[in-house]
Amino acid sequence: VPEGEAQFHRRVWLHRVGTDPASDVCVFGAEFDKTTFFSASVSIDGRWLVVSASPGTAPRNDVWIADLSASDPAAPALREVQVGVDAQTSVHVGRDGRAYVYTDRDAPRGKLVVTDPSNPAVESWQPLLPEDPEAVLEDFAILDAKELARPILLAAWTRHAVSEITVHDLRTGEKTGDVALPGIGSVGGLSERPEGGCECWFGYTDHTTPSSVFRYDARTGETTPWASAPGTVEVPKVYTRQVTYTSRDGTAVRMIVVSPTAEADEPRPAILNGYGGFGASMTPGYSATILAWVEAGGVYAVANLRGGGEEGENWHRAGMRGNKQHVFDDFHAAADWLVEHGWTTSSKLGISGGSNGGLLVGAALTQSPQRYAAVVCSAPLLDMVRYQRFGLGQLWSEEYGDAEIAEELGWLLAYSPYHHVAADTRYPAVLFTVFDSDTRVDPLHARKMCAALQAATTAAASDRPIVFRRESDVGHGARAVSRSVELSADTLVFLAAHTGLSLSGS
């Protein structure tokens, strides 16, 4: 591929196990744009190949299916399931021979339909699980052991960011029950036995429960622990609540607040976190960082901003491209709610975000510096006029807009944090954390922004410092546990120092 484009130009290849990879055959993708993502899967019986293609990180994809028993796997005869439609769709061919199609086509919160894999066109789709007006369909599993009176379908949903699992008749979709969960939290993927059975495993976590695996047995309807995180975890006493507040345009937004007291007894040092992009949902999950902060007497809040997926694809689109300001408005309104309801004050409020969340807090501190006392901005996008020129930036134009298009450049310039740094402004204390081996978001964003803020702020460095934390040999995501601990410690101490949280005795 052209120099500098090794991270692009994906393709679908056929590899025969035991052969030299140099003999692999490209079976799909050569005619697509360099930023297209592909996925490929084969049914458990080896008969049906499903191929999907999506432009970058766009919330839409094209899907094809091929019968490998009727065509050469090196040249599969692919038939269209969905092409040229603004929707996300996936296909799973079950052990019963039916194609189960998950889609948000005409159903922004998701629905499940069935069809014949040999005739997969939309006209043949038959409804199985209709769209729920308040819950987002996330996953499903099929339990079809012979000892069951009838095959069942499990469906995982998130209702306002909180998970639930329902039980349905596989043939009709009729709801027959619910799967008991340990608490108000988040469910991971549903996993059935590949060969079929009556058991399903799923991950689970909440704000006080480390990641665990639970097993559901369709014969008894019981849910039992299967595996838990190693070691003994002593969880401090905390209180968690979900609240609803109103954004600038009247939209209702939800937020989780974790605190050391049941009610707001006094304004406390607080951290507000959010993401608001790419349809990613901020659901409840165990976090040692959050628990350490709350155990020390602070309040921690996570806002379910537009741009995420907590309320389905419409919620995502309400915070992407030309609607990006909605995300920042939701975040500012979350900060105001925490102050108005006595949980904190502006002088005690810190904000934190990484990656797209780094863009979020970068925009927040430039749009409303007086609202916040301290900011941790990690692996951020901040120069939105040039983001496409670095790393994997070209993949994100569907989410943010293309700076080469005049109208979309206007969207980007309207909020680009780097371009809204204003001279003679008293900015909050800011800690940028970057990682030299980050190929997703180039550290240059934070370097430029740090320098611009240092030059512009009127606050004394001893009072509200603007500093830069750099790590080598670390990328955008996973890292050694020791490095995660060090990063969390540094960011918490920084936020504590500038929001007034006392660490004595903790």
The catalytic residue positions are 355, 476
Tokens at 161, concatenated: 């960011």
Q: How many CB atoms lie within 10 A of CB 288?
A: 14
Max intra-chain CA distance, the chain? 74
Tokens at 259, concatenated: 């605190």
The residues facing 273 across adjacent strands are 302, 352
Burial 185-196 (b: 16+ CB within 10 A, else e): bbbbebebeeeb
By CB atoms closer than 10 A (0-12, 13-18, 19+), residue 376 is buried
What sections of 203-340 are H helices per DSSP? 288-295, 313-317, 325-340
What is the rounded distance in angstroms from the CA atom of residue 102 to the CA atom of residue 108? 11
Please name which of 266, 293, 426, 424 lies closest in space to residue 352, comparing C-alpha atoms. 293
What is the per-residue DSSP string for 37-74? EEEEEE-TTS-EEEEEEEETT-S--EEEEEETTTS-TT
| Contact predicate 436/404, CB 8 Å | no
Question: CA end-to-end span of the chain, whole Å?
Answer: 54
HSE toward the beta carbon, residue 125, CA cutoff 13 A: 20
Residue 104 is given by DSSP the state -
What is the rounded distance in angstroms from the CA atom of residue 361 to the CA atom of residue 364? 5
Give the position of tokens 């741009």: 307
Q: Look at strands 25-28 and 36-42 and give their pairing.
A: unpaired
Tokens at 143, concatenated: 């339990």
3-state secondary structure of 202: strand
What is the rounded distance in angstroms from the CA atom of residue 123 to the CA atom of residue 380? 44
